[in-house]
């Protein structure tokens, strides 16, 4: 708390132009009129924005739809009104991008053969699900052998390599989900790192030259039950158009039971294989079983766009460095009716509330009498719900060098249940952004927590991850579950109830009972954090040894 006061005083000193011989110890802080500027952050302003974004007129903001276009136009207009310049040159506030819709026809039965010609087959949906890894009219696997590769991880910084140089070109890999979790010294213990995400598994399989990968699903290792995998992998999947990157033909998931059956058929015991994978000495185990598939794939190209506006910094030496405020703008459009017959997926909390937060922070920053030293970019990525596509596209086609991106403060969901004593940092323990935030949280008389389900890997499931991946220190935080004047467990209950009834459903809409008082406090934190980072002498850094540190050091060195 004390340090914040000192920082405040010294920065006020600096801004009033009396810093004389400069003050290298100043690491950032809030200008004198920050409090006055923050007066634009109110519950009614936030609600008004959510009401616009989540209105039926926006038709659920499905990627590539008319609702998508209307939402983007609305956001651009809000950015312009707040004094933010178009971030994408001749394209104005929009960065157009193509997406490919991939629909894979999986067989009802998936057959495997051993060396003696015996067969076993597994049932679609009940035992396996998946999709094409290629954007071709067919995904083809021709008599490829299955190889168990444990966690399928290659991580030099953990001195871990499940492949040991084994040639797995043309094989179908069978992999465990998650990352090693039994030792706090290994892969951050129970906390899931990117190595533990299914996306990583398919990427590394492609990099190693495999033709397919099967992830063994368990509720514990995935963080969610089998039906969630089923919903996620059924129907059309949107992707960015394929580039030069290596790809596998088939991305598959298999239930634990089915995997057990398959492995047993191959003459192995799943538990024994899992046990052997829990060691640095593990080597791939060929299963002596082959499979062939020829899957018809329907492809459809469609367009969407990221939206962004930029407020140029006031310090000529630092204005090229940019602090990002991000919040995805897409949702699921118009779809299957729920039990009330509603077909519009309004996406009020996901992600209307988050966009409202980003807009409020943007407005508070532009209400300051003097612009922050660094530039601020408000960024609304497209197609997040389709796998972070918009932020992935932007970070692969950035408007500045990644080394000039100071930080990303991402907003995702938010608090509609009133004030909390705690603030949750997702994937806590990653960067110095957390040190700044912790001080600001303490100033509010609140405390910091990490999410209660570290295995779920939430850090990798919203747009902050796209920034982290190119090395940019990135953070996602929001109110925790310790609600003021509510009994213990009440917050968890509200949240779980909402997930069950409203998450990714038409009923995610604005309700009369919403209480945005806690959200207002979070927006103040977002504003103060963005401002502190924008005004600090140095950009934030990953904590030493973080999984994204090397990427950052490389970006800064370029």
Residues of this chain that bind Zn ion (CB under 5 A): 350-351
Rounded to a whole number of angstroms, the minimum distance from the CB of residue 381 to Zn ion is 10
Distance of CA 387 to the CA centre of its chain: 8
CB of 36 to Zn ion, least distance (A): 32
C-alpha torsion sign, points 495, 457, 338, 507: positive
Give me the least distance between CB of 317 and Zn ion, in Å please. 36
> Beta-carbon neighbour count of residue 430 at 10 Å?
22
Planar angle of CA 158, 388, 534, nearest 5 degrees: 80
Residue 162 vs 350, nearer CB to Zn ion: 350
Report the alpha-carbon distance of residue 329 to residue 383 in Å, rounded: 8
And the tokens for 347?
A: 């996406």
Minimum Å gap between C-beta 91 and Zn ion is 24
- Nearer to Zn ion (CB atom), residue 238 or residue 282: 238
Pick 279 or 453: Cβ nearer Zn ion: 453
Rg (CA), the chain: 24
Q: How far is the CB of 476 from Zn ion (least distance, A)?
A: 11
Among residues 208 and 469, whose Cβ is nearest to Zn ion?
A: 469
> Which residue is it, tokens 């465990």?
176
Q: To the nearest whole angstrom, how small is the minimum distance from the Cβ of residue 304 to Zn ion?
A: 15
Q: How far is the CB of 456 from Zn ion (least distance, A)?
A: 14
Nearer to Zn ion, 127 or 330 (CB): 330
Asked whether 64 and 303 are in contact (CB, 8 A), the reply is yes
- Kindly state the smallest distance separating residue 412's Cβ from Zn ion, in Å: 5
132 vs 410, which CB is nearer to Zn ion? 410
Token pair belonging to 361: 């922070």
Cα separation of 63 and 302, whole Å?
Answer: 8
Q: Is 301 exposed, middle or buried (0-12, 13-18, 19+ CB in 10 A)?
A: exposed
Cis peptide before 351 (omega within 30 of 0): yes
Phi/psi of residue 419, nearest 5 degrees:
-75, 145
Give whichever of 350 and 521 is closer to Zn ion, judged by the CB atom: 350
Closer to Zn ion by Cβ: residue 251 or 328: 328
Closest separation between CB of residue 389 and Zn ion, Å?
A: 13
The closest of 540, 444, 374 to 35, measured between CA atoms, is 444
CA dist 356 and 344 (Å) reads 20
Buried b (16+ CB within 10 A) or exposed e, 452-480: eebbbbbbbbbbbbbbbbbbbbbbbbbbb
Q: Residue 434 and residue 438: Cα distance in Å, rounded?
A: 6
Nearest CB to Zn ion, comparing residues 350 and 549: 350
User: Which residue is listed with tokens 């995997």?
Assistant: 259
Q: How far is the CB of 330 from Zn ion (least distance, A)?
A: 8
505: tokens are: 């459903």
* Cβ closest to Zn ion, residue 351 vs residue 395: 351
């Amino acid at each position: 708390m004390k340090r914040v006061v000192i920082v405040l005083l010294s920065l006020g000193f600096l801004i009033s132009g009396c810093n004389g011989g400069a003050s290298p110890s100043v690491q950032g802080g809030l200008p004198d009129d920050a409090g006055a500027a923050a007066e634009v952050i109110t519950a009614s302003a936030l609600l008004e924005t959510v009401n616009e974004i989540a209105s039926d007129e926006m038709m659920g903001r499905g990627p590539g739809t008319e609702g998508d276009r209307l939402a983007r136009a609305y956001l651009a207009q809000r950015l312009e009104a707040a004094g933010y310049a178009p971030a994408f040159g001749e394209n104005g506030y929009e960065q157009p991008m193509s997406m490919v819709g991939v629909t894979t026809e999986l067989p009802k039965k998936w057959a495997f053969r051993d060396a003696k010609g015996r067969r076993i087959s597994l049932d679609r949906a009940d035992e396996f699900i998946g999709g094409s890894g290629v954007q071709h009219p067919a995904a083809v696997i021709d008599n490829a052998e299955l190889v168990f590769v444990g966690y399928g991880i290659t991580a030099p910084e953990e001195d871990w390599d499940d492949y040991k140089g084994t040639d797995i070109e043309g094989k179908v890999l069978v992999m465990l989900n998650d990352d090693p979790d039994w030792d706090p010294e290994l892969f951050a213990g129970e906390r899931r790192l990117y190595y533990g995400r299914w996306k990583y598994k398919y990427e590394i399989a492609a990099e190693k030259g495999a033709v397919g990968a099967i992830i063994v699903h368990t509720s514990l290792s995935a963080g969610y039950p089998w039906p969630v995998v089923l919903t996620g992998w059924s129907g059309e999947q949107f992707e960015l158009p394929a580039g030069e990157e290596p790809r596998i033909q088939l991305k598959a998931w298999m239930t634990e039971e089915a995997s057990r059956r398959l492995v047993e058929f191959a003459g192995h015991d799943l538990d024994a294989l899992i046990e052997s994978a829990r060691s640095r000495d593990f080597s791939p185990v060929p299963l002596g079983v082959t499979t062939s598939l020829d899957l018809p794939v329907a492809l459809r190209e469609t367009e969407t766009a990221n939206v962004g506006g930029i407020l140029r910094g006031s310090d000529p030496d630092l204005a090229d460095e940019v602090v990002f405020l991000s919040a995805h703008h897409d949702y699921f459009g118009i779809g299957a009716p729920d039990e009330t017959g509603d077909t519009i997926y309004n996406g009020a909390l996901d992600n209307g509330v988050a966009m409202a937060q980003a807009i409020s922070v943007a407005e508070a920053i532009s209400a300051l009498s003097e612009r922050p030293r660094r530039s601020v970019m408000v960024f609304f990525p497209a197609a997040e719900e389709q796998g972070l596509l918009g932020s992935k596209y932007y970070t692969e086609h950035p408007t500045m060098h990644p080394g000039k991106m100071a930080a990303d403060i991402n907003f995702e969901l938010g608090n509609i249940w009133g004030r909390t004593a705690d603030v949750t940092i997702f994937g806590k323990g990653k960067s110095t952004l957390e040190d700044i935030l912790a001080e600001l949280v303490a100033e509010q008389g609140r405390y910091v927590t990490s999410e209660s389900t570290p295995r779920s890997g939430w850090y990798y499931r919203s747009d902050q991850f796209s920034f982290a991946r190119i090395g940019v220190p990135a953070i996602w935080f929001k109110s925790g579950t310790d609600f003021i004047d509510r009994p213990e467990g009440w917050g968890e209950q509200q949240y779980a109830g909402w997930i069950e009834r409203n998450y990714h459903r038409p009923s995610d809409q604005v309700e009369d009972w919403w209480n945005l008082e806690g959200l207002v406090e979070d927006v103040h934190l977002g504003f103060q954090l963005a401002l502190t980072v924008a005004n600090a002498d140095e950009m934030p850094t990953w904590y030493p040894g973080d999984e994204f540190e090397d990427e950052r050091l490389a970006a800064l060195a370029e």
